[in-house]
Amino acid sequence: MKRHSIQVGGARRSRCLSPRAAKVGNSRVGFTLIEVMISSALMALILVSAYMCLGAGFAAQKMIEPRTEIIQNARVALGLISADLRAACPLSDTDDFLGMTRTVGDVQADNLDFATHNYTPRRPHEGDFCQESLYLDEDPESGQFILWRRRNPTIALDALAGGMKEELARGVVGLKFEYFDGLDWYASWGEVDPKKRGQPSARDAGNLTGLPEAVRITLRMDSNPKKKQPANAAGTTEALKPEPPLVFQTVVRLNLAEAAAEAANAPSADSTGSDSTSGQTPGNGQ
């Protein structure tokens, strides 16, 4: 223990200081090795956590971006189809509304043919009447199914052909139409085969002619169409477990269905005139 002397009022006094106090007074204070190790460990933990959060953010962005585009495409496609179905009308003199169930491999690809007034004339001699078809077709290059819409604004002899087609959505893995007659839902509507028209059928007569009251559309989209299969050591691609598709569904009410049914059931002017004439004939004979 060191002894220090202090001059106080001309008298010299001494006091004793501990070794630690003397050391602190003679040298600068610093961090110990344990404190440096603890701070380094905390800093490493913070950096690793930040890196993991950044990686999770990039992974979520990579997963969400393609799905956002798919959702937008499906929303636009269903909006276009719904607008056409709301203004649906009879397709031709022989066919009012044709809905057929169809499968291509394992993919359900229903067809729908009808006419609509939801059309803006673009060329001379065109009106607001347009014949329309909705169907799926496989792209030979990518192998994906594309939802197509065929539109023919001219009154053609063959209501199921002609016109121009446009792509509504790509990467479709299923398309299903269901039809409501006011009481029940049906998987098909109308008679597509002309040879079977007018013949007795086991199907209900309500969904053979006329327009349905509503149509339910179920559209299935590939949740990640741009995902590639990884290659193994041999250079061949390994089969991945398919991701569940994104399912979009909507119900569209046909606004002109009731008016079309009333027009079809209303008696014509010729039949009314003949009935009134025949009703007056017995009276004149009497």
pLDDT tens, 59-71?
777 777 778 888 8
Query: How many domains are there within the chain?
Result: 1
The closest alpha carbon to 223, from 66, 78, 15, 26, belongs to: 66
**Residue 43 resides in a domain:** no
Name which of 59-68, 98-107, 114-123, 152-161 the model is least confident about: 59-68
Least confident of 66-80, 233-247, 266-280: 266-280
Q: What is the pLDDT of residue 280?
A: 41
Cα gap 179→256, rounded to integer Å: 15
DSSP 19-74: HHHHHHHHS-----HHHHHHHHHHHHHHHHHHHHHHHHHHHHHHHHHHHHHHHHHH
Split at pLDDT 50, 70, 90, the class of 29 is: low
Give pLDDT tens digits for 226-243: 665 555 555 555 556 667
21 domain residue, yes or no: no
Could you give the CA distance from residue 98 to residue 118 in angstroms, rounded to a whole number? Answer: 18
In a domain? residue 213: yes
pLDDT at 12: 52
pLDDT value, residue 155: 77
- Confidence class for position 267, pLDDT limits 50, 70, 90: low
Nearest to 245, CA basis, from 197, 181, 176: 176
Between 272 and 51, where is the model more confident?
A: 51
User: Looking at this protein, which amino acid is placed at residue 213?
Assistant: E
CA 184 to mean position of chain CA atoms: 25
Q: What is the pLDDT of residue 269?
A: 45
What gap in Å lies between CA 217 and CA 174, rounded to an integer?
Answer: 11
Let me know if residue 50 belongs to a domain: no
Give the Cα separation of 99 and 117 in Å (integer).
Answer: 18
Average pLDDT over residues 52-57: 86
Higher pLDDT, 175 or 95: 175
Please check whether residue 234 lies inside any domain of the structure.
Answer: no
Residue 153 and residue 175: Cα distance in Å, rounded?
Answer: 25
84-101 burial code (b ≥16 CB/10 A, e <16) = bbbbbbbbbeebbbbbbe
236 vs 265 pLDDT, higher one:
265
Distance of CA 277 to the CA centre of its chain: 59
Question: What is the span of the domain harbouring residue 77?
Answer: 71-226+243-264
3-state secondary structure of 192: coil
In a domain, 28, yes or no: no
Q: How far apart are the first and last CA of the chain?
A: 153
In a domain, 113, yes or no: yes
Strand residue runs (E) in 101-245: 103-104, 107-108, 111-116, 130-138, 145-152, 164-180, 185-186, 214-221
**pLDDT score of 19:** 55
Residue 19 in domain: no
pLDDT at 104: 87
